[in-house]
Amino acid sequence: MSKIHKILFLCGGNTCRSPFASEYAKWLKKTKFMNDLKEVNFDSAGLYHYYERAQDGTVNYLKSKGIDISNFRSKRVDEELVKNQDLILAFEQKRHINKLKRRFKNLNLDEKVFLLLDYAGETHNLEIEDPFYFEQKEYNKILKRIEEGVIKTIKKIIKINNLENS
């Protein structure tokens, strides 16, 4: 496997799960994994465009960790964005990965599109539901699962990139 430099987190509307994952990963890059992730970039997008900003549940959870995403603007995935990624991590097989592969069937995505938790090494309960309509307490439980998946994924990427340096 070659080095991983560009990671895209993908969900339905780019307002809950994917902005959380990308902004949390960027924060980890700045704080905990500065040296290991120098050449790694994180981004997020949605299959659809519903809202301009991240949902309050996502904003509140990140704010509780000292992460400000007030400047975040959601975006819709396009072919150029997909082509430029080394790795695309989604949260639901049917709603995200299958739709992405159908939308961009001219691209071979099998080698770079995965469920976040599957890529992170989890073996069961791999899908992460959309917390959109949930109360903050339940919303936080879902984001906590994403947080753990992002940390495991970052450690895996560091390992892959370090093996490529050897």
Q: What is the pLDDT of residues 7-40, one digit of tens each?
A: 999 999 999 999 999 999 999 999 999 999 999 9
- Lookup result for tokens 């959601």: 74
pTM above 0.95, yes or no: yes
Q: How much is the pLDDT for 1?
A: 61
Q: Find out if CATH 3.40.50.2300 is the number for domain 6-161.
A: yes
pLDDT number for residue 166? 65
Q: Which residues of the chain have pLDDT under 70?
A: 1, 166
Q: What is the pLDDT of residue 165?
A: 72
What pLDDT, on the 0 to 100 scale, is given for residue 50?
Answer: 86
